[in-house]
Amino acid sequence: MQISTISFDGDMTLWDFLKVMRHSLEQTLAELQRQVPTQRALELTVEKMVAIRDQLAQEMKGEIWSLLEIRRRAFERTLEHVGHPDKDLAAHLNTVYRKHRYGDIELYPDVIPTFDALAPHFKLGLLSNGNTYPERCGLEGRFAFVVFSQDVQVEKPDPKIFQITAERAGCELSQMLHVGDSLKNDVAGAKNVGAPSIWLNREGIPNDTKIQPDYEIKSLTEIPTIVGLDNL
Ligand SMILES: [Mg+2]
């Protein structure tokens, strides 16, 4: 394997996005209920807030790329849902959400040791469909290249975003090893453009798809061995 470059997915690969997202929504819901102490607001749940946001994202697909804008609009719609439309309050809730969403994010414990081991030998990058930029999660200066779908307006598993990534990395796709937790977005996406891939399967779930990664790992600390470095 002639690997010069390793691109990493972000959400659920380097940090637990679902955990920080739900935690941030819990804090925002508490604030909403403080500000709007009505029965309908008290009946609101994090699950419902997630559903409202996902529905909105679906409606806006290809139209609005900014995930922050979708989130802000989702709070407006959430307030409409509880019978209290209020754009200023939605903006305030958005601020509360963002404070926790970025302030409380934690990297998985295997990230830094793995990056420390790989960085002297490989060009490392981030390829994400999310919106956690390196400086928002303690990874500033760790990446030689960064590609976010909301900025290039194409998302994984589209071949174009992998091509953009290899261009920014200055390598051939066959030299770029992509690591991610999604069989569809990361593994199949990489495979379609001839890039080798590692499926990060932290929970050891069965692969009931036809998508075959080149490697499957439970921890990022397995990567150095795969690319020919000694164990951590
Ligand atoms: Mg992911």
Kindly give the distance from the C-alpha atom of residue 76 to the centroid of ligand 1, in angstroms, as a whole number. 27
User: Looking at the predicted structure, is the pLDDT value of residue 187 above 90?
Assistant: yes
pTM of the model: 0.93
- Specify the 3-state DSSP secondary structure of 199: strand
Cα distances from 20 to residues 57, 75, 110, 174, in angstroms, run 19, 17, 18, 34
Kindly give the distance from the C-alpha atom of residue 182 to the centroid of ligand 1, in angstroms, as a whole number. 6
Residue 157: which of 129, 187, 185, 126 has the closest Cα?
A: 185
Q: What is the structure's pLDDT at 231?
A: 53
Kindly give the distance from the C-alpha atom of residue 220 to the centroid of ligand 1, in angstroms, as a whole number. 13
User: Looking at the predicted structure, is the pLDDT value of residue 232 above 60?
Assistant: no
Kindly give the distance from the C-alpha atom of residue 143 to the centroid of ligand 1, in angstroms, as a whole number. 17
Q: What is the structure's pLDDT at 200?
A: 98
Q: What is the structure's pLDDT at 78?
A: 98
Region 173-199 average pLDDT: 98
- Calpha distance 186→169 (Å, rounded): 17
Kindly give the distance from the C-alpha atom of residue 168 to the centroid of ligand 1, in angstroms, as a whole number. 20
pLDDT in tens, 41-55: 999 999 999 999 999
pLDDT range class, residue 1, cuts 50, 70, 90: low
Q: What is the structure's pLDDT at 40?
A: 97
Q: Which residues contact 203 (CB under 8 A, 6 or more apart)?
A: none
Superfamily of domain 5-15+107-226: HAD superfamily/HAD-like (3.40.50.1000)
CATH 3.40.50.1000 domain range(s) in the chain: 5-15+107-226
Listing DSSP states for 6-21 in one string gives EEE--BTTTB-HHHHH
Kindly give the distance from the C-alpha atom of residue 187 to the centroid of ligand 1, in angstroms, as a whole number. 11
Q: Which CATH architecture has domain 17-103?
A: Up-down Bundle (1.20)
User: Looking at the predicted structure, is the pLDDT value of residue 221 above 90?
Assistant: yes
Kindly give the distance from the C-alpha atom of residue 9 to the centroid of ligand 1, in angstroms, as a whole number. 6
Kindly give the distance from the C-alpha atom of residue 40 to the centroid of ligand 1, in angstroms, as a whole number. 34
Region 194-206 average pLDDT: 98
Is the dihedral angle over the CA atoms 216, 217, 220, 224 positive or is it negative? negative
pLDDT in tens, 149-160: 999 999 999 999
Q: What is the structure's pLDDT at 41?
A: 98
CATH 1.20.120 domain range(s) in the chain: 17-103
User: Looking at the predicted structure, is the pLDDT value of residue 173 above 60?
Assistant: yes
| Strands (DSSP E) found in the chain | 5-8, 123-128, 145-148, 176-180, 197-200, 215-217
Kindly give the distance from the C-alpha atom of residue 8 to the centroid of ligand 1, in angstroms, as a whole number. 9
Percent of the chain with pLDDT over 70: 99
pLDDT in tens, 67-108: 999 999 999 999 999 999 999 999 999 999 999 999 999 999
